[in-house]
Amino acid sequence: MSESTAGRPERPAEVTDPLLWRLATAVAEAHEADEDGACRNPSCVGAAWPCAAWTSAQEGLRAAQAAPRTAPESSADEGADDLDRDDPLIGWPTNLLPSPGDMPPHSPARDEAPEAVTSAA
């Protein structure tokens, strides 16, 4: 047994995500309760046990043992007719971009059209 696995519990057979299980186990071990009933991890100084990190680690352990989720079967072209093929921001929310009227009065972009970027060939 290597030094990195010494003292670590054996991975249960029902674990479907070994990496998540190892990480969650390490966090749970690092956030065990001390003799006063507080989390012993220095990042949780004064926090009652179970701390948020230990609780999250328990969720990770449960998720690592859950059946893997599969993507629903659908056509790759499903909804393709609804897309505007000329829109350069397909898939990005356009309401995050300010309209020219929302620009401050001192902004040169308020009254100017954006310049097209061309590649130098």
Full pLDDT tens readout for the chain, 121 residues: 344 555 667 888 889 999 999 999 999 999 999 999 999 999 998 899 999 999 999 999 999 998 776 767 665 555 555 555 555 555 656 666 666 666 666 655 555 555 656 655 5
What pLDDT, on the 0 to 100 scale, is given for residue 113? 56
Q: Tell whether omega for the bond before 12 is within 30 degrees of 0, i.e. cis.
A: no
What pLDDT, on the 0 to 100 scale, is given for residue 2? 43
pTM for the model: 0.51
Q: Which two tokens stand for residue 64?
A: 């690592």
**Residue-by-residue DSSP string for 58-113:** HHHHHHHTSPPP-PPP--TTTTGGGS-TT-TTTTS-GGGSPPGGGS-TT-GGGTSP
What are the domain boundaries of the chain?
18-64
What pLDDT, on the 0 to 100 scale, is given for residue 90? 59
- 33 DSSP β-pair partners: 39
**Look-up: residue for tokens 């009065």?**
105
Sequence letter at residue 6: A
- Indicate the helix (H) or strand (E) that contains 55: helix 52-64
